[in-house]
Structure 1
């Protein structure tokens, strides 16, 4: 019986204080873990800015 799943939670806040949040468990068969996803997110950190669009995030 599955009782817990480790996830990563990401929050983005802009200069006006608006905040968006998301969470993901990753894809285990692809080798993703919260730690590997955190490393990917940290690699993108410098590319995030106040006027980032949803299309920018998808790219």
Structure 2
């Protein structure tokens, strides 16, 4: 995994959350990490935005 300089890529909690979001909403892990970076770790907000992202594809 590459480090973006914010330390987020190395955080196992963020990795777990990104994988969980990707599986739950069927988006890529990279998209999920991007949402986490933009929104934070609030699960409801992440799911809402990931579903919106998926509908746009």
Could you say which structure has the higher helix fraction? 2
* Coarse TM-score class (shorter-chain normalised): 0.3 to 0.5
TM-score between both structures, scaled by the size of structure 1:
0.34
Instruction: Please tell me whether Structure 1 or Structure 2 has the larger radius of gyration of its CA atoms.
Output: 1
TM-score between both structures, scaled by the size of structure 2:
0.34
